[in-house]
């Protein structure tokens, strides 16, 4: 897969992934100059993010938009999509808070998920 976007954005240095595999599909992650923090476009399998964000905002945005994708795949049939923004916001901000307040949690996730990748080889 193409790993490089041809436009230089301030966010490039933060190593935002250009693709996120989510089950059967691959989401394309693209920087944009936009007013919102980000946007998830379900029928295009695409996440757009505002390239002029601080690193913490960027992390929150990628988590937030990824949760929109998961919501569309797995939750929208269970609850009304009119609650989607509230639910996604609560989950993204809650997860972000847990990561920020517990640096060892990120190490735990990284170290142990690595084993799954190693087993797949
Ligand atoms: Zn949202």
Distance, CA 104 to ligand 1 centroid (Å)?
A: 27
Distance, CA 33 to ligand 1 centroid (Å)?
A: 17
Distance, CA 6 to ligand 1 centroid (Å)?
A: 26
Distance, CA 92 to ligand 1 centroid (Å)?
A: 9
> Residue 2 above 60 pLDDT?
no
Mode of pairing for the β-strands spanning 25-32 and 46-50: parallel
> Residue 107 above 70 pLDDT?
yes
Check if the beta carbon of residue 62 is closer than 8 Å to that of residue 48: no
Domain range list for the chain: 4-120
For residue 40, list its beta bridge partners.
Answer: 47
Distance, CA 1 to ligand 1 centroid (Å)?
A: 27
Quote the strand ranges of 43-111, DSSP E.
46-50
Class at the top of the CATH hierarchy for domain 4-120: mainly alpha
Helix, strand or coil for residue 67? helix
Beta-carbon contacts of residue 92 (< 8 Å; ≥ 6 apart): 60, 63, 64, 67
12-71: pLDDT as tens digits: 678 899 999 999 999 999 999 999 999 999 999 999 999 888 889 999 999 999 999 999
| First vs last C-alpha separation in the chain | 19
Distance, CA 88 to ligand 1 centroid (Å)?
A: 6
Distance, CA 106 to ligand 1 centroid (Å)?
A: 23
pTM equals 0.85
Distance, CA 71 to ligand 1 centroid (Å)?
A: 11
For residue 32, list its beta bridge partners.
Answer: 50
* Alpha-carbon span 116 to 102, nearest angstrom: 22
């Amino acid at each position: 897969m193409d790993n490089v976007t041809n436009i230089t954005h301030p966010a490039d240095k933060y190593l935002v992934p250009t693709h996120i595999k989510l089950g059967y599909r691959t989401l394309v992650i693209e920087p944009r100059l936009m007013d919102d923090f980000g946007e998830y476009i379900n029928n295009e399998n695409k996440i757009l993010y505002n390239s002029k964000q601080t690193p913490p905002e960027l992390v929150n945005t990628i988590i937030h938009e990824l949760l929109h994708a998961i919501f569309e795949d797995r939750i929208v049939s269970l609850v009304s999509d009119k609650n989607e923004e509230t639910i996604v916001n609560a989950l993204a901000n809650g997860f972000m808070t847990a990561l920020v307040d517990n640096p060892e949690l990120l190490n735990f996730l990284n170290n142990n998920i690595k084993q799954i990748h190693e087993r797949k080889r």
